[in-house]
């Protein structure tokens, strides 16, 4: 596979803003963000996790989630100590039980909507570690497991609190096992967008929401009340998720007119993902009803299409979705028109 860099839900540009915050406002958060930034290179190598489970047996996969939650107990040692396995009752620890529920909601979404058994399609066990580090300001997928920090309590709450964040990170696993989009430039922004799309759909499916009812916010509830913001990102209106006097304004573009050319953050993967995110929102709301029934099916067809190369750009992927919509719903369908119109609206297609 092309890349094994862990995928973190909080982008480095936001962590840098927190790290630079005056310590008289966010003393713990500034220190925690600096630690999270410094750890990013250290956690780039995927972890070799052994000893938690027996190997999967051959034959038809077990369609149950097969969850195991461990705790790092404030250390950065993975996998940590197992505190809850599949089928066991709530522990009373919020992070453990939220992680368990979020993994279950994500598993149910993929199985019920796409008939996919776990993120690899073959029953891969879903492992997670909670209470990672001291006030760790992030959550990430390291290629094998989910890892959750508890947040600093000043800017960020614990990262298990938002089911779309769990869906987002496991979405990176799904992409890893399908198109394996290169985590750089436009293909990397598509990689991030896929996780936002399917993370949002996990939350919408769990809540029984239609496209019109959904908030289309990613990481809603992660910010504390001290932050002037509602989420990490907005698919409905990229660039509006937060506007804080200390942390600054959400920098995501919504259209190609504001595309960001940068060498940071793997070529702006967390920034420019706002453009395909907005295209999905436009397509989903134009089609209406549950988003996983309309636009979600089209995006899944595209992600698993032989036409999608690991280094595909926005225009290439947009073309695949338009053709996928025509194949699934018909060239004269409202769904096909909605998908094509969405990509034109964000300036990817003319």
Q: Which are the catalytic amino acids?
A: 169, 270
- Rounded (to 5) percent helix, strand, coil in the chain: 40, 10, 50
Q: Are strands 126-132 and 146-149 parallel, antiparallel or unpaired?
A: parallel
- Rounded Cα distance, 93 and 120, in Å: 29
Q: How is residue 54 annotated by DSSP?
A: P
Residue 165 phi, psi dihedral angles, 5° rounding? -65, -40
Q: Residue 132 in contact with residue 163, Cβ under 8 Å?
A: no
Token pair, residue 32, equals 């925690």
Q: Residue 275 in contact with residue 196, Cβ under 8 Å?
A: no
The contacts of residue 4 (CB under 8 Å, 6+ apart) are 45, 46, 143
130 CB-side CA count, 13 A:
23
């Amino acid at each position: 596979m092309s890349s094994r860099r862990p995928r973190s839900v909080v982008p480095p540009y936001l962590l840098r803003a927190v790290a630079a915050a005056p310590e008289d406002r966010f003393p713990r958060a500034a220190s925690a963000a600096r630690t999270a930034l410094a750890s990013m290179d250290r956690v780039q190598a995927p972890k070799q996790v052994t000893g938690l489970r027996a190997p999967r047996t051959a034959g038809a996969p077990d369609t149950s989630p097969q969850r195991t939650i461990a705790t790092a107990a404030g250390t950065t040692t993975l996998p940590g100590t197992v505190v809850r396995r599949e089928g066991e009752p709530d522990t009373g620890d919020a992070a453990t039980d939220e992680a368990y529920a979020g993994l279950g909601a994500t598993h149910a979404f993929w199985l019920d909507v796409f008939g996919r058994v776990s993120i690899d399609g073959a029953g891969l066990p879903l492992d997670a570690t909670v209470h990672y580090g001291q006030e760790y300001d992030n959550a990430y997928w390291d290629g094998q497991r989910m890892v959750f920090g508890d947040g600093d309590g000043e800017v960020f709450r614990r990262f298990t609190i938002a089911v779309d964040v769990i869906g987002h990170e496991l979405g990176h696993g799904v992409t890893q096992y399908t198109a394996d989009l290169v985590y750089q430039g436009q293909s990397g922004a598509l990689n991030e967008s896929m996780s936002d799309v399917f993370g949002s759909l996990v939350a919408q499916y769990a809540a029984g929401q239609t496209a019109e009812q959904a908030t289309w916010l990613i990481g809603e509830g992660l910010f504390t009340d001290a932050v002037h913001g509602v989420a990490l990102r907005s698919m409905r209106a990229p660039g509006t998720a937060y506007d804080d006097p200390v942390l600054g304004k959400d920098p995501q573009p919504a259209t190609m007119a504001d595309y960001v050319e940068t060498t940071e953050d793997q070529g702006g993967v967390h920034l420019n993902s706002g453009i395909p995110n907005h295209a999905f929102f436009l397509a989903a709301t134009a089609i209406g009803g549950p988003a996983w029934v309309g636009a979600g099916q089209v995006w899944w067809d595209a992600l698993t299409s032989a036409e999608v190369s690991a280094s595909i750009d926005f225009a290439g992927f947009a073309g695949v979705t338009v053709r996928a919509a025509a194949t699934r719903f018909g060239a004269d369908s409202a769904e096909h028109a909605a998908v094509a119109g969405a990509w034109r609206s964000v300036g990817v297609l003319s």
